[in-house]
């Protein structure tokens, strides 16, 4: 080590410390700007066009007495339930289930939504619902850019191996699938599903994969619903905003649901 004067050594140490402090503040500022960018739409409006309920299904047309009897459904409130839907969201999904013969759900979680689908669908309807078995969590294949918080949420929501519908009359209509959704082969259901609900892992690579499979499964006149269209689920939010440039998506008013309806012979 050079025989430097003490004052020069102190100066070099002080300079290095100041550089580290400056780097810390720059990094913190960059992270703050990144978070602000992700949440910017929370203050400037959501890019996907909002649709009133009557655009979702004719039965949502209001009468002088309020909602039409045709929109009557059976469902269970979401209080105290992991990954629950709002009552309005459950209402929308239950109404759409009424006209579906085959339903597919990405993300079983507690199994309550599958139960609600079966409560309202035709007596001979099939509800396929997919989740990862708790013993297979190592199979989750997240991408490097996947949102860290929602990686943890995906693990938390894959904690169930028995479900709300077990022992209920609805169980006979429900086909439980234990699989990583990226590994799931949807080819047997290609073009055969009337309603697909995408509510699995809320990370970029998973929502992309689940959406691709949902589109493959979707029948003519079928509907796809995505949950958690909001800045707090940044990967879902960004992906759907991009997808809306390719497909006619609508954001159902006063919900976190985005909907796509395939026209006959359409995309």
User: For position 137, what pLDDT does the model report?
Assistant: 64
Q: Is residue 204 in a domain?
A: yes
Q: Is residue 74 in a domain?
A: no
* Same domain flag for 30 and 55: no
Distance CA 264, CA 100 (A): 16
User: For position 32, what pLDDT does the model report?
Assistant: 52
* Same domain flag for 200 and 137: yes
Mean of pLDDT values over 217-232: 96
Q: Is residue 154 in a domain?
A: yes
Q: Is residue 65 in a domain?
A: yes
- Count of structural domains, the chain: 2
Per the structure, the complete domain to which residue 115 belongs is given by 46-69+84-261
* Same domain flag for 123 and 248: yes
- Taking all residues of the chain, what is their mean pLDDT, rounded to a whole number? 86
Question: CA distances (Å), 202 to each of 34, 83, 84, 152, 261, in order?
Answer: 19, 12, 14, 10, 21
pLDDT at 1 over 60: no
* Same domain flag for 25 and 60: no
Q: Assign 171 to helix, strand or coil.
A: helix
Domain CATH for 191: 3.40.50.150
Q: Is residue 77 in a domain?
A: no
């Amino acid at each position: 080590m050079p025989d430097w004067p003490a004052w020069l050594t102190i100066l070099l140490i002080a300079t290095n410390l100041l550089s580290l402090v400056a780097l810390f503040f720059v990094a913190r500022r960059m992270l703050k700007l990144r978070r602000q960018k992700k949440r910017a739409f929370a203050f400037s409006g959501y890019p996907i066009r909002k649709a009133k309920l009557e655009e979702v299904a004719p039965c949502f047309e209001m009468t002088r007495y309020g909602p039409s009897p045709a929109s009557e459904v059976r469902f269970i409130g979401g209080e105290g339930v992991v990954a629950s839907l709002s009552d309005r969201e459950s209402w929308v999904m239950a109404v759409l289930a009424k006209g579906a013969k085959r339903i597919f759900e990405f993300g079983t979680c507690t199994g309550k939504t599958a139960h609600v689908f079966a409560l309202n669908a035709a007596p001979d309807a099939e509800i396929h619902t997919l989740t990862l078995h708790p013993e297979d969590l190592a199979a989750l294949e997240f991408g490097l850019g996947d949102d860290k918080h929602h990686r943890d949420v995906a693990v938390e929501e894959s904690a169930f191996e028995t479900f709300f519908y077990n022992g209920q009359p609805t169980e006979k209509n429900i086909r439980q699938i234990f699989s990583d959704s990226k590994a799931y082969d949807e080819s047997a259901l290609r073009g055969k599903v009337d309603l697909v609900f995408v509510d699995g892992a809320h990370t970029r690579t998973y929502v992309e994969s689940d959406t691709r499979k949902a589109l493959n499964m979707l029948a003519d006149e079928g509907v796809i619903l995505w949950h958690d269209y909001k800045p707090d689920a940044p990967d879902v939010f960004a992906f759907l905003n991009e997808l809306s440039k390719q497909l006619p998506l609508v954001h159902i008013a006063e919900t976190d649901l985005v909907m796509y309806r395939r026209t006959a012979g359409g995309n």
